[in-house]
Amino acid sequence: MILSPKDRITTPQAAVVVINFILGSGILTLPRVSVEKVKTPDVWITVILGGLIAMMAGVIIVKLSQQFPEKTFYQYSGEIVGKWVGGLLSLLIVCYLLITSGFQVRSMVEVTGFYLLEGTPIWASTMPFIWIGLYLIIGGINPIARLFEIILPITVILFLLVAFMSFGIFEMDNLRPVLGLGVIPVLKGIKTTALAYTGFEIMLFLPAFMKHPNKAVKAVLVGISIPLIFYVITVIMVIGALSVDGVVTRTWPSLDLIRSFEIHGLIFERFESLLLVIWIMQIFSSFTISYYVAALGLAQLFKKNIQPFMFGLLPVIYFISMIPKNINDLFKLGDMVGYIAMYLFGLLPLLLLIVSRWKVGKHEAKL
């Protein structure tokens, strides 16, 4: 039930899952949080460096997973560090994924409440969102991957359309001078931008579902490259239009960029609704895949059917999404998720890979 032949996905589908998991709140918040750290127009360089670091971490995760064919992290971690420590690490990842799910749900509620559904109770926005997510994940990884395949092209087309329509208010001078204050400000922002790529950790689990797990490195590199391009375009367009000083004073600078211009004579004169459409689709993608993998973790840890865990986690995610009292609490929760991800997926996979290779070498030496 947990892993069946029908649960196999192709290499492009794996890449699409990585892309959709990474994209989400980063498109809306990355320009502000990165500019706050860098404080120069060189943020786009920081975004590229952050993406390269994420690629290295992603490849390490894939190499670790490939040591244990057809097994997820929940199943093979015990073989590396022992049953109890492996179980504890798996539970930590399940908790991380549940907090991530709750954060995604609340982010959706805050943005839609501010721009689309003003005055709507939080529970009224939350309940349909998480129930639809449950309906999707009940079918397993295949329906999730197929839906992501539909969402991604729509996202690419609408994002590029909206981004390039803002060229009318773009000022190249806002991006100059390049490295005017040296490389130190750029290096200060790398941690922030690297955290915007969290989502590649899904490769701790996806290779077990892939038809060709030997191509998982290709999937993760493509899966991080596309968000990297999205993020670079976003920060260049936002800073070019709003300037560094203008970005740090806004909560959602990407949406404010789209709201700052109108094109008369078209069916739509305002275009923030298009950006919101693709952002809500991406936030739904991030929510569903983290929800599914959290339920999968409990199912594999306790060797039970996955469906009771899917239903059982629904109120847990709802509760977590209700914890932030306001938008500042939500940003603090997002920062906490990022720091947990940095330690769990930045350092831990490398240590586990070293230990597993050492164990293999030790075993071969005895033969």
d(CA 291, CA 133): 8
Q: Work out the average pLDDT over 11-26.
A: 86
Long-range CB contact pairs, 245-251, < 8 A, 24+:
247/31, 247/32, 247/35, 248/32, 248/35, 248/36, 250/32, 251/32, 251/327
pLDDT at 297 over 90: yes
pLDDT digits (tens, 9 = 90+) for 259-272: 776 666 655 556 67
Total residue length of the chain: 367
pLDDT: which is higher, 162 or 286: 286
* pLDDT for res 89: 93
Residue linked to tokens 């860098």: 38
- How far is Cα 193 from Cα 232, in angstroms, rounded to an integer? 11
| Mean pLDDT, residues 289-299 taken together | 94
Which domains does the chain show, CATH number per domain?
11-351 (1.20.1740.10)
Mean pLDDT of the chain: 85
User: How far apart are alpha carbons 59 and 204 in whole angstroms?
Assistant: 10
Over residues 187-206, the mean pLDDT reads 84
pLDDT score of 24 more than 70: no
Average pLDDT of span 180-198: 80
pLDDT greater than 60 at residue 174? yes
pLDDT of 324 > 60? The answer is yes
Is the per-residue pLDDT at 54 higher than 60? yes
pLDDT score for 269: 57
**At 346, is the pLDDT very low, low, confident or very high (cuts 50, 70, 90)?**
confident
- pLDDT tier, 237 (very low <50, low <70, confident <90, very high otherwise): confident
Per-residue pLDDT at 92 exceeds 90: yes
What pLDDT does residue 268 have?
56
Please list, in sequence order, all residues whose beta carbon lies within 8 angstroms of the beta carbon of residue 265, skipping any fewer than 6 positions away: none
Q: What is the DSSP letter of 174?
A: G
pLDDT at 169: 78
Per-residue pLDDT band at 1 (split at 50, 70, 90): very low
Write down the residue that tokens 């300037």 correspond to. Answer: 243
Cα–Cα distance between 110 and 117 in angstroms, integer? 9
In this predicted structure, what is the pLDDT of residue 266? 59
- Residue range 328-342, pLDDT digits in tens: 888 888 888 888 888
* Other CB atoms within 10 Å distance of the CB of residue 67: 16
Rounded Cα distance between 108 and 110, Å, is: 6
What is the predicted pLDDT for the residue at 367? 66
pLDDT at 6: 60
pLDDT band at 147 (very low <50, low <70, confident <90, very high): very high
Residue 267: what pLDDT?
55
pLDDT band at 129 (very low <50, low <70, confident <90, very high): very high
Distance CA(192)–CA(208), nearest Å, equals 30
Please say if the pLDDT value at position 221 is more than 70.
Answer: yes
* Tens digit of each residue's pLDDT (9 = 90 or more) over 103-122: 989 988 888 887 777 788 88
Residue 250, judged by CB atoms within 10 A of its CB (0-12, 13-18, 19+), counts as middle
Residue 197 has pLDDT above 70, yes or no: yes
What local confidence, expressed as pLDDT, does residue 243 receive? 82
What's at 204, amino acid-wise?
L
